[in-house]
Amino acid sequence: MKLIILDRDGVINFDSDKFIKSPDEWKPIPGSLEAVARLNQNGYRVVVASNQSGVGRGLFDMAALNAIHAKMHKALAQFGGRIDAVFYCPHAADSQCGCRKPRAGLFQQIAERFHIDLAGVPAIGDSLRDLQAAAEVGCLPMLVETGKGRKTLYTGGLPEGTQIYADLAEAVDAILAGR
C-alpha cells in the first residue's frame, strides 16, 4: 500500500494563529486539493494527522471540527480527491498526551489502523513538531514553506533528511517523480 501522511492547517488549507474554528475559516491553499487528487489517482492513500488543540481549549467543539472536515472532504471530491482518514489530537497544548505532535501517537495510530510499517512513508508538514513526529516513526519528513513552513525553515533544527518544498503541489510532484 502506498500511503502519505499530511498535516492539515498550513499544508492543505491556510492556517491562522487564531485557529481554524469553523467551516467558513477553512480555505484551501491553491493547488493543494488538486495535489491530493493526483496522489489518489496514482494509488496513494492519503491520511491527515493534525493537532487540533482548539477543541481542548474550548475554542470550537467536535461538531465544528466535523463540519470543517466535511467541507474539506466535499472540496476534495470536486477535484476527484479524497482523504482516507483524519487522525487528530483534540488535547490542549499543555496536555501530556501521547498523541499531540511532536509526540508520535497519531502516527502510531495510523500504522495500527492501516497495518503498515511507516518507514519511508512521506509525511508532509509545515512545523517542526510535524517533522519530529514523522521522523520518530521513520517516516520521510517533508517540509512545505506554506503555513508556518518558512518560519520553521528559518528557525532550523529540522530532522536529518528533511526534504523542503514550496507547497504541497511541489512536494507531490517530487513524490510522483520518484525523487
* 109: containing domain: 2-176
Active site residue 9: yes
Catalytic residue among 9, 15, 130, 167: 9
Cell of 117: 510499517
Q: How large is the greatest C-alpha to C-alpha distance in the chain, in angstroms?
A: 42
Active site residue 15: no
Mind listing the pLDDT tens digit of every residue in the chain (179 residues)? 999 999 999 999 999 999 999 999 999 999 999 999 999 999 999 999 999 999 999 999 999 999 999 999 999 999 999 999 999 999 998 888 999 999 999 999 999 999 999 999 999 999 999 999 999 999 999 999 999 999 999 999 999 999 999 999 999 999 999 87
Helix ranges (DSSP H) in 32-89 = 32-41, 53-56, 62-77
Cell of 74: 466535499
Q: Which residues of 60-91 are buried (b: 16+ CB within 10 A; e: fewer)?
A: beeebbebbbebbeebbeebebebeebbbbbb
Rounded Cα–Cα distance for residues 13 and 10 (Å): 6
User: How far, in Å, are 59, 70, 94, 164 from residue 54 at the CA level?
Assistant: 5, 17, 12, 28
Q: What is the CATH number of the domain that holds 36?
A: 3.40.50.1000
Domain count, the chain: 1
